[in-house]
Amino acid sequence: MTTTPGAKTPFVEKAFHVSWDQFHRDARALAWRLNGSAPFTGVVAITRGGLVPAAIVARELDMRIIDTFCVASYVAESVRSEVRVLKNVSPELGRTEGEGLLVVDDLVDTGATIMVVRALLPKAHVATVYAKPLGRPLVDTFITEVSQDTWIYFPWDLGLSFQAPIAGSERG
């Protein structure tokens, strides 16, 4: 991903717009794939992107223990910085180095966030809905791979707006 100086949105060769319906289907597919894995004692959502898929996966797998691992890796909308841990998992969940935990995020991009998670919870099972090639080897389970130069626009990043009818656009 590249950004133009002072720009708020990234300049990328490819964009992948994900609707709420598509994201829900993909998160349920992740739960289906995880259903055959070892039983999990709890879910850890990597915030903020992992909150929605973690809720869907927890519902589908009938899991009630849900925690968050809060990180910041962007200083602006599209400008990456070093990963900062803002909140770790609760001590009782983290005491086993993540054994039995399912860590969920929306996307693994470069893998920087997952590397921090793996250092703190090396025995956890890490799952993402989407994976890019640089980060893919760091996750145990994912659903869809996208190219490294693709920027994913998640439904919570988008707003609905009016689209003029095609037939009416020719009129002045």
Helical packing angle, 51-60 and 20-34, nearest 10°: 50
Nearest to 14 by CA among 145, 150, 130, 107: 150
pLDDT in tens, the chain (172 residues): 444 444 444 455 799 999 999 999 999 999 999 998 878 999 999 999 999 999 999 999 999 999 999 998 865 555 566 889 999 999 988 889 999 999 999 999 999 999 999 999 999 999 999 999 999 999 999 999 999 999 999 998 887 777 788 876 655 5
Q: Which residues are catalytic?
A: 105-106, 109
Entry pTM: 0.83
Residues belonging to the chain: 172
Q: Which domains does the chain have, with CATH numbers?
A: 14-159 (3.40.50.2020)
Torsion over CA: 145, 101, 81, 154 (sign): positive
